[in-house]
Amino acid sequence: MRIGDMLVPREVGMKMVNLDRSYLGHDWKETEKKLAKDVKGKRVAGSGSHWSSKGDVKHPEFLFECKTTAHDSYAVGLKTLDKIVKEAQTVGKTPVLLLDIKGKRFVLLRFEDWEANSGSK
């Protein structure tokens, strides 16, 4: 078995299926690259694959976590949000969740972080 491939059982034998992200209908790596360029940040290579690689894109002030889907919606639970906050606090940055839903990008911040950065407080 190669990295990026998975064996799928069939009635007779096994079939190799490529799990390239474009096959799944979205491209998470391109989302991360575009965000890094847009915010003048740096993409974190191997984020999610190693405990020391926090976030997907680092910015001097923010730590971005990116979630990408080709579906009409994306569910975000408190466990995921708490993880993003903890990782950002560990490196002294403001946590930001970027949702890319069918190519439309949305940003999710904690309210207190929005207040602090918007000058409304």
Which of 27, 95, 100, 36 has the alpha carbon at shortest distance from 65? 95
* Paired tokens of 25: 């209908």
Answer whether residue 5 shows pLDDT above 60: no
pLDDT band at 26 (very low <50, low <70, confident <90, very high): low
CATH number 3.40.1350.10 given to 25-118: yes
How far apart CA 102 and CA 26 sit, in angstroms, is 8
Q: Supply 66's token pair.
A: 């990116």
pTM for the full predicted model: 0.70
pLDDT tier for residue 85 given thresholds of 50, 70 and 90: very high
Residue 79 banded pLDDT, cuts 50, 70, 90: very high
In three-state secondary structure terms, 3 is coil
**Domain extents in the chain:** 25-118
